[in-house]
Amino acid sequence: MRFYPMFFNAVFRRMDPERAHHLGFLAVRAAKFAGPIARGVCGPDAQLRVKTMGLVFPSPFGIAAGFDKNAEGILGLGALGFGHVEVGTVTRHAQPGNEAPRMFRLIEDRALVNRMGFNNGGSAAAVPRIEQARLSKHRPIIGANIGKSRVTEVDAAADDYVYSAERLAPISDYLVVNVSSPNTPGLRGLQELSSLGPLLTQIKQAAGNTPLLVKIAPDMDDEQLTGIVQLAVELGLQGIIATNTTVSREGLQASAERIEEIGAGGLSGEPLRARSLEVLQRIREVAPDPEFCVISVGGVASPEDVFERLRAGATLVQGYTGFIYEGPLWARAVNRGLVRLGFRGNAAP
């Protein structure tokens, strides 16, 4: 585990972050083809199993949306120890995303800034890949994260989401409505209750019996956050994912010149840790029912970070940026750390 950070410092930090991400996918593909060997080395202990939303997750720790945008690494990521893989964000229309460069490292902050812009091949193209992954008896839980296409006007956003939901809900274990990325114009405006209620109602109908969650931003006040949680409960959603990346740049160690040079985008990693935990705690104040699934994401890197979220009321925990800094054995280290810390899931044998 310690070898990878040294390798990262020597090699990957000099490489364009998006190119490094694509190279990192080689390890994911290798894990898929390694099959039983990878699972034997990285597979989570049975005591970590968690039951929620009518599903049994092999581990409470999963990979957040954004890493596997096109559902190409599901089995490999599962073999590396992630209990669930959330693919996407996918949109109705295939789109290239924003102009490169669009991903940046803040190494001193153990953070990333990205303005990828939902680059993906479209929701229909993801269908056969998810269907293929579902054939494996060793697959992780599969979530599908859906968003609005850039070419679609905000007033017509519901049509985009419903199109993707109708195709992905029948083959996914759960579905996530992303209204919180800062990199698609007008998207975060859909978090306003007057827009969000009708939108979620239509998507829920399209999703049928597939568990539905909504992913929210960290950049909102308590009143807005409370309103969204109450709405999710009232509409019968199965949960909330908190949080997406932040537009804040407060408290960074990186220089002001470097931050200005990078420009706009969502910040993830260590700087998001405190706010993400605050949002989790606030959600649990409003929705204390353990049957309501809360997936906490943002600023988790170590087993202790994940354990802290679980003790604070998270049902599950996701990571993304930590994979960049900790490497392909990250989930293995987190799972083993959770066993060491004494975590025992509610579906443990």
pLDDT band at 203 (very low <50, low <70, confident <90, very high): very high
Neighbours of 23 (CB within 10 A): 12
Residue 259: the pLDDT is 94
Between 208 and 25, the higher pLDDT residue: 208
Tens digits of per-residue pLDDT, 234-292? 999 999 999 999 999 999 999 999 999 999 999 999 999 999 999 999 999 999 999 99
Distance from chain centroid for Cα 71: 13
Nearest to 174 by CA among 310, 71, 53: 53
Distance set, CA 82 to CA 40, 42, 241, 317, 324 (Å): 13, 9, 17, 10, 15
Structural domains in the chain, sorted by start = 3-341 (3.20.20.70)
How many whole angstroms separate alpha carbon 65 and alpha carbon 86? 5
The average pLDDT across 138-161 equals 95
Residue 266 per-residue DSSP state:
E
Of the listed 180, 181, 276, 296, which one is catalytic?
181
Residue 18: the pLDDT is 78
Cα end-to-end distance, the chain, whole Å: 29
pLDDT band at 323 (very low <50, low <70, confident <90, very high): confident
Residue 325: the pLDDT is 86
The average pLDDT across 105-117 equals 94
Residue 264: the pLDDT is 94
Judge whether 240 and 232 are in contact, CB under 8 Å. Answer: yes
Q: Is 156 exposed, middle or buried (0-12, 13-18, 19+ CB in 10 A)?
A: exposed
pLDDT band at 1 (very low <50, low <70, confident <90, very high): very low
Q: 143 pLDDT exceeds 90?
A: yes
Write the DSSP string, 285-340.
Answer: HH---TTSEEEEESS--SHHHHHHHHHTT-SEEEESHHHHHH-TTHHHHHHHHHHH
Residue 328: the pLDDT is 86
Judge whether 143 and 181 are in contact, CB under 8 Å. Answer: no
Q: 9 pLDDT exceeds 60?
A: no
Residue 183: the pLDDT is 78
Q: 184 pLDDT exceeds 90?
A: no
pTM: 0.94
Residue 185: the pLDDT is 81
Helix, strand, coil shares, percent, the chain, to 5: 45, 15, 35
Residue 173: the pLDDT is 98
pLDDT band at 35 (very low <50, low <70, confident <90, very high): confident
Half-sphere exposure of 98 (CA within 13 A, CB side): 16
The average pLDDT across 306-328 equals 94
Active site residue 181: yes
Q: 5 pLDDT exceeds 60?
A: no
The average pLDDT across 27-50 equals 85
Residue 180: the pLDDT is 86
Which H or E element spans position 56?
strand 55-57
Write the DSSP string, 231-252.
Answer: HHHHHT--EEEE---B---TT-
Between 227 and 36, the higher pLDDT residue: 227
Percent of the chain with pLDDT over 90: 80
User: Which alpha helices (H) appear in 135-192, and where do they start and end?
Assistant: 157-168
Which 3 state secondary structure label does DSSP give 80?
A: coil
The structure tokens listed for 99 are: 């102009």
Beta strands in 119-238 (DSSP E): 141-146, 174-178, 212-216
Neighbours of 79 (CB within 10 A): 29
How many whole angstroms separate alpha carbon 142 and alpha carbon 133? 9
Q: 104 pLDDT exceeds 60?
A: yes
How many whole angstroms separate alpha carbon 66 and alpha carbon 71? 10
pLDDT band at 6 (very low <50, low <70, confident <90, very high): low
How many whole angstroms separate alpha carbon 314 and alpha carbon 297? 9
Average pLDDT, the chain: 92
